[in-house]
Amino acid sequence: MDCIFCKIVEKEAPSNIAYEDDKILAFHDLQPQAPVHVLIIPKKHISSLDEVSFDDAEIMGWLMAKVKDIAKDLGLENGYRLVCNCGKDGLQTVNHIHFHLLGKRQMKWPPG
Ligand code: AMP
Ligand code: ZN
């Protein structure tokens, strides 16, 4: 499958890994939008939020429960933002579900 994030999982493409276990991977975004900007992904290929099934509950729950630990390791003690873009209107550009973990600056609201 021609998926850049699957290639990163398989170590067939380079990345700067922030956290890894048997279920998920977090790596630094190539074009950071904040002083800390990592992408957290399930190792399993799931295209987007639209494709998450109840069979994925364990892996997605694991990912969510790991967010705070990854944030803590990255020094985000003042808080952070977790973003998941979905589909065309959501401006999703990579079709392997990923959560942007952004921090170390004051965020704005509403997003553009
Ligand atoms: P999205 O627009 O939500 O699909 O976000 C995709 C993100 O992946 C963007 O922030 C890109 O900068 C990032 N990205 C794309 N390719 C890579 C890569 N090979 N390594 C790290 N980040 C990447
Ligand atoms: Zn993939």
Task: Please indicate whether residue 29, judged by its CB atom, sits closer than 6 Å to ligand 1.
Answer: yes
Task: Please indicate whether residue 18, judged by its CB atom, sits closer than 6 Å to ligand 1.
Answer: no
Do the Cβ atoms of 108 and 51 come closer than 8 Å? no
pLDDT in tens, the chain (112 residues): 799 999 999 999 999 999 999 999 999 999 999 999 999 999 999 999 999 999 999 999 999 999 999 999 999 999 999 999 999 999 999 999 999 999 999 999 999 8
**Domain assignments of the chain as residue spans, ordered by start:** 4-103
**Residue 72: both structure tokens together:** 């803590």
DSSP run (H or E) holding 65: helix 57-73
Do the Cβ atoms of 41 and 94 come closer than 8 Å? no
Overall fold of domain 4-103 = HIT family, subunit A (3.30.428)
Q: What pTM, to 2 d.p., does this model score?
A: 0.98
Backbone φ and ψ of 102, nearest 5°: -120, 140
Q: How far is the CA of 30 from the centre of ligand 1 (A)?
A: 6
Ligand nearest to the CA of 29: 1
